[in-house]
Chain A
Amino acid sequence: MLLDLLEIFLTAGFWAATIRIACPLILGTIGELICERAGVLNLGIEGIMTAGAMSGWMWVYLGGDLWTGLMFAAIIGATFGLLHSIFTVHLGLSQHVTGIGITMLASALSFFIFRMMLPESTTPPKITAFQPVNIPGLSDMPFLGEAIFSHTPMTYMIFAIVPLVIYVLYKTPVGLALRMAGENPMALEAQGMNVLSIRTGAVMVGSAFMAVGGAYLTMSAFDAFFFGMINGRGWICVALVIFASWRPGKALLGALLFAGLDAMQVRAQQFAGNFIPYQFFLMTPYVLSIAAMVVMARQARYPKALLSPFRKGERT
């Protein structure tokens, strides 16, 4: 049995699945991380991912091109981000309550529009999604070719986004301003900068990332939209941000780790499903990620101004 488990690691299919499962989580986690680094918790993520999945898919279904579909999903995500920041950044309302409200609004609206546009369909209609690209030389390599070099362009784009976000966050003035907005907004104000617009911008960009993460599901991993598609992935991203101690590099690792556990449990069901109930396997990635979080979160350096609204000119 232990050998069976080890054997899983030796199949290229396992590694390919891990990368596939990780992609929406990576974008969602990076998006949430950007919001939280600026001091705003965005619990709208679950709904924003749903809206992204629906809108990107719908764009292509109505005749749009795949890449502009991603742009459209990003714009929809940023719009919900703007809504979230109007309530939390400008009006200073509870970030928890607003976020959950955004999730409910965005999910319900997505399902509603989907039904409105396609009232007749019983089986989810399909689009032509992103297809795996064949990279000459690399894709033909044994094992690695199948595990790493047989993915869609969108997958590679997501892996390229992470170092880009790290660079922007740590090496550019706008990244510094964003991090300061989450640590001590008064410092921004004292240096003549506008806290509200920096936070708003961060929440919009972060939400755009989330929406594209959702769109990965309907435009790259699968080719259809159906209800309950996001299935808690947004909440996993919120947890992964804590797991990552608000660091984008660790967020990538965390998403891959969770995805690996998920890919493994599916395969483990096949050989142990006879004597262990399958629900147990479904549970394992969540249980293990809770355990990992307990270990990691202890040394987490959370953004000091997370959850606290900033109001200019208020007496302290």
Chain B
Amino acid sequence: MTALKIKGVTKTFGSLIANDNISLTLQQGEVLALLGENGAGKTTLMNILFGHYVADQGDIEVFGNQLPPGATDAAIQAGVGMVHQHFTLADNLSVLENIILGTEPLTSWRSDTARARVKLNALAEEFGLAIEPDKLVGDISVGERQRVEIMKVLYRDAKILILDEPTAVLTPQEVDRLFDTLRSMVSRGLSIIFISHKLHEILNISDRVCVLRRGQMVGEIATRDADRDKLALMMVGHEVTRPLVEHLPPGPPVIELDNIVLAGSRGHKPLLDGVSLKIRECEIIGLAGVAGNGQSSLAELLSGLKTPSSGQLRLAGDVVKQYSPRGFIHAGVGRIPEDRHVHGVIGDMMVWENLISENLREKPLWNFSSLINFTACRAFASRLIEQFDVRCKTMEMPSKQLSGGNMQKLILARTLQNNPRFILANQPVRGLDEGAIAAVHERLLAAKRRGAGILLISEDLDELFALADRIVVIYHGHVSQPIAVSDITAQDIGIMMAGDLAHGEKFLQAGVS
């Protein structure tokens, strides 16, 4: 039985064609994976299906009935439920309140919470989803929040479940648990659309894969006929050569953190709690952890934006006394910030202005220490644009018009041309397509060969295992001992990410510090 039929959906945002005449069908009791790189149009398509957006063209049929465009209530009525990538929950409200929102008529004089609890308990039993209805959403973990989101959908008797990148915020163990839940849903006749760009998850859970590329449906394949390479080729459209990683003998430390504590705001736990870490020349240390465990605080500290409450930081052997971004740049720290739009570039300023911004006040960009030497700046900028292959129409265009990959190349160019001894790479490839990812990784590996020490912060374990020499795990502001990637598996890292940092100790090799 056909649960869902999408016919010829087209959606444009300005000049961008997000969805170009896309059609697909979903059978009842099937897991359909929607695969594509960031920006391929997966989320847009699902937002149209769920009624967040109105399509320019095309129809959607659910169980044979046409859905009116742009009406989420009609989609819910028809049995469509969506678990959004960014959870639609309110921290200050209880789990129960979040779930029953919108399920009762607004004119009713009483919320029937007793009946809601009975139904919730029955659902929790049936699908093995443990939730605590009376806790505030702000007090529960990310994994639990996702269970609440799924429960919201089940509570409304959804027959078709859309999951938008559901594993992005989960540890590997939580992913397994989610997949168990999904399988039990399918066995009860529900249909699932699973959006992801992680190939092994798609191979694990789905029955059929539809691949989107730049807004177009480029292929469809039964999962049993697919393998990793085939899917990667369909998604990217061309072969991607992965950069070669070589392990080099590390040199002296470039940066040393000694028992660093960063206090939290009044009445909160410290953001960083006794972090000790040493990064040496010619090595990449990967920092793994579920989002929100102190990665941002550590990155801010290592950028010179925050001063620790106690503990010592040594850059190339010298104890840092003044924490300032400029001081850190001078001491040889290169930064690739987490959010390139907010902290990476000034979107309204031109490409060349952004390129020179870390080398302000240096000759020959400045004359008489106060006037910009435009000729020198342009020469400087055009050299970097060429060297780092930043694709822009002119160097006078505003930086915000660059694509994500080119914006990241701009930041890399600005940072790496100073030959930093230590590079802080915070989520350097988030949201980039495969080609750009390979380019960024190649630059980082080249910097490592040149002798730089790199801290790579990422939520993607595959990336860490591909690039890093050793991995540390951060949990609630605590950082584990570094473990060589060859000695540990992703499953063990997952256990540590869930809070058991001591789990990693048995993988430490004797004699390696």
Contacts and interface: CB of A to CB of B under 8 A. Distances in A.
B52 interface: yes
A3 to B, nearest CB: 40
A190 B93 contact: no
Contacts of A313: 52-54, 70
Interface string B69-93: 0111111110000101010111111
B111 A187 contact: no
A172 B152 CA distance: 18
A176 B89 contact: no
B90 A173 contact: no
B106 A192 contact: no
Contacts of A187: 88-90, 98, 101
Interface string B139-158: 00000000000001000100
B107 A192 contact: no
Interface stretch (A63-71, A150-158, A178-186, A266-274): A178-186
A193 interface: yes
A312 B69 CA distance: 13
Interface string A148-181: 0000000000000000000000011110110110
A104 interface: no
A263 B400 CA distance: 58
Given A172-B108, A315-B13, A192 B76 contact: yes
Given A177-B101, A304-B90, A313-B53, A190 B84 contact: yes
A176 B96 CA distance: 11
Which of A187, A190, A192 has the largest count of B CB atoms less than 10 A from its CB?
Answer: A190
Contact of B152 (A183, A189, A191): A191
A177 B102 contact: yes
B93 A183 contact: yes
A43 to B, nearest CB: 23
A190 B82 CA distance: 8
Interface residues of A, number: 26
A192 B89 contact: no
Nearest to B136: A301
Contacts of A298: 266
Contacts of A315: 13
B99 to A, nearest CB: 9
B109 interface: yes
Given A187-B98, A190-B82, A191-B101, A304 B92 contact: yes
B107 A174 contact: yes
Interface string A10-40: 0000000000000000000000000000000
Contact of B93 (A179, A186, A191, A316): A179
A188 interface: yes
A55 B50 CA distance: 46
Given A173-B104, A176-B97, A191-B102, A301 B266 contact: no
B100 A176 contact: yes
B105 interface: yes
A173 B106 contact: yes
Interface in B4-35: 13
Contacts of A179: 90, 92-93, 97
Contacts of B82: 190
A134 B316 CA distance: 84
B115 interface: no
A304 B88 contact: no
A177 B106 CA distance: 8
Contact of B72 (A180, A192, A304): A192
Contact of A172 (B77, B93, B101, B110): B110
A172 B109 contact: yes
B88 A186 contact: yes
Contacts of B84: 186, 190
A190 B71 CA distance: 10
A188 B102 contact: yes
A313 to B, nearest CB: 5
Interface string B39-58: 00000000000111110000
Contact of A192 (B13, B75, B105, B108): B75
Interface string B90-132: 1111000110111111111111000000000000000000000
Contacts of A171: 110-111
B478 to A, nearest CB: 27
A173 B75 contact: no
A180 B101 contact: yes
A183 B94 CA distance: 12
A39 to B, nearest CB: 11
A186 to B, nearest CB: 5
B97 A191 contact: no
A173 to B, nearest CB: 4
Interface string A276-316: 00000000000000000000001001011000000011011
B108 A189 contact: no
Nearest to A178: B106
A57 B77 CA distance: 49
Contact of B101 (A176, A303, A312, A316): A176
Contacts of A193: 73, 101-102
Contacts of B76: 191-192
Contacts of B105: 173
Contacts of A192: 51, 71-77, 102
Contacts of B110: 171-172
B158 to A, nearest CB: 12
Which of B54, B82, B97, B107 has the largest count of A CB atoms less than 10 A from its CB?
Answer: B97
Which of A186, A189, A192 has the largest count of B CB atoms less than 10 A from its CB?
Answer: A192
A171 B54 CA distance: 34
Contacts of A183: 90-93
A315 B76 CA distance: 21
B49 to A, nearest CB: 13
A184 B106 contact: no
Contact of A184 (B51, B77, B90): B90
Contacts of B109: 172
A204 to B, nearest CB: 15
Contacts of A176: 93, 97, 100-101, 111
Contacts of B73: 192-193
Contacts of A186: 84, 86, 88
A190 B105 CA distance: 16
Contacts of B91: 183, 304
8 cross-chain pairs, A with B, having the tightest CB-CB distances, nearest first: A192-B73, A191-B102, A183-B90, A187-B88, A173-B104, A190-B88, A192-B72, A184-B90
20 contacts: A171-B110, A172-B108, A173-B103, A173-B104, A173-B108, A174-B106, A177-B101, A179-B97, A180-B93, A186-B86, A187-B90, A189-B72, A189-B88, A191-B72, A192-B51, A192-B72, A192-B73, A192-B74, A192-B77, A193-B73
Given A183-B91, A187-B101, A189-B52, 10 more contacts: A173-B106, A176-B93, A183-B92, A186-B84, A188-B102, A191-B156, A193-B101, A313-B52, A315-B13, A316-B86
